[in-house]
Chains A and B, each alone.
Chain A
Amino acid sequence: DAGVIQSPRHEVTEMGQEVTLRCKPISGHDYLFWYRQTMMRGLELLIYFNNNVPIDDSGMPEDRFSAKMPNASFSTLKIQPSEPRDSAVYFCASRDRTSPDTDTQYFGPGTRLTVL
Chain B
Amino acid sequence: AQKITQTQPGMFVQEKEAVTLDCTYDTSDQSYGLFWYKQPSSGEMIFLIYQGSYDEQNATEGRYSLNFQKARKSANLVISASQLGDSAMYFCAMTPTNTGNQFYFGTGTSLTVIP
Contacts and interface: CB of A to CB of B under 8 A. Distances in A.
Interface residues of B, number: 21
Contacts of A103: 33, 35, 50, 52, 95, 97
Given A101-B50, A104-B50, A33 B101 contact: yes
Interface of B: 33, 35, 37, 42-47, 50, 52, 91, 95, 97, 100-103, 105, 107-108
A55 B99 CA distance: 13
Given A33-B103, A56-B101, A107-B46, 13 more contacts: A33-B101, A42-B108, A45-B102, A45-B103, A48-B101, A93-B45, A95-B101, A103-B35, A105-B35, A105-B47, A109-B42, A109-B43, A110-B44
A43 B101 contact: no
A31 B101 contact: yes
Nearest to B108: A42
Majority secondary structure of chain A interface residues (helix, strand, loop or mixed):
strand
Interface of A: 31, 33, 42-43, 45, 48, 50, 55-56, 89, 91, 93, 95, 101-110, 112
